[in-house]
Amino acid sequence: MKPRRSNLSVPGHMKKMHEKASQSAADVIMLDLEDSVPVDEKATARAQVIDSLRSLDWSHKTVTVRINSLDTPFAYRDLLEVAEHAGHVIDAIVIPKVNDGGDIFFADRLLTGIELSKDVHRPIGIEASIETAEGLRNASKIMRASKRVISLVFGIADYSASIGARLVSISGHGEKEEDLYPGHRWHFAISNMVMHAKAGGALAIDAPYGNFKDMEGLRRSAVMASALGCDGKWAIHPSQIDILNEVFTPSPEEIALAAKVMEANARAQSEGKGAIAVEGRMVDQATVRLATKLWEQAKFLNLV
């Protein structure tokens, strides 16, 4: 699967932003029909997103569309029209506020019918946003509801509201957390989501960082998400892309260590040895798998 280090959210009704986004350094461009679009512009945004998908060059990008949540009057039209008219372009549909596996099952069945009708040979993936306590509790069911699920995404603001957490910033998206809680306030929630995503062979993506002028805060948030096992993070502004790509890209030191582990493992296998030693320390097969995964990512990014 292509890297999803930086996932840039772009308002669906802002045509001028679409072409700029398609030429940006973000791994993923997510054209948004949900929170960034005013209610009275939902239909206009949907039409604009479809037009941009069909008219711009997205061949070098992973491109997704976030529909409105399934408990709104807009979602079914979003899913139907985007998939019918641009299903051959997009990589995935992002479904917000997923609370149960039934939400995914519904989208899966509808997408299957559209693909059959339109003769779409590349299945459209689903990215499920975990934004409520109920959604986190049902993360395992959500992962098992469809093979289309390629990632779980943490929605920090709505999750905070669902559990009644204290509001410490204007955006509610991660900044100033240290003023309230002496540690990582969302450690359990994100780790739980990551566990279910990885158990199902999917990626885990962290929520955006709300203050796009605070680059050090963004870096701290991204480093913590990476440490917890997230594969990338949403961005709400192009200025955040470079830092996210940097944080979620294997460093030269990590790549060199991965190479040593893989070489030692290959040598041990050729000599019929079970134990592997690297720099005077024993290495097990779990570490070999980590090293191999990191090496494959580095190779995809042309770093080796």
Residue 110: closest CA among 118, 246, 273: 118
Q: Any known ligand binding at 271?
A: no
One-letter amino acid at 69 equals: S
158 marked ligand binding residue: yes
Are the beta carbons of 45 and 74 closer than 8 angstroms? no
**8 touches 26 (CB < 8 A):** yes
CB neighbours of 286 closer than 8 A, spacing ≥ 6? none
The pairing of beta strand 232-235 with beta strand 125-130? unpaired
Pair 78, 50: CB distance under 8 Å:
no
**CA 47 – CA 28 distance, rounded (Å):** 21
Q: Would the annotation count 54 as a binding residue? A: no
Distance (Å, rounded) from C-alpha 71 to C-alpha 248? 34
Binding site membership: which residues?
Answer: 66, 131, 158
Binding site membership for substrate: which residues?
Answer: 66, 131
Binding site membership for Mg(2+): which residues?
Answer: 131, 158
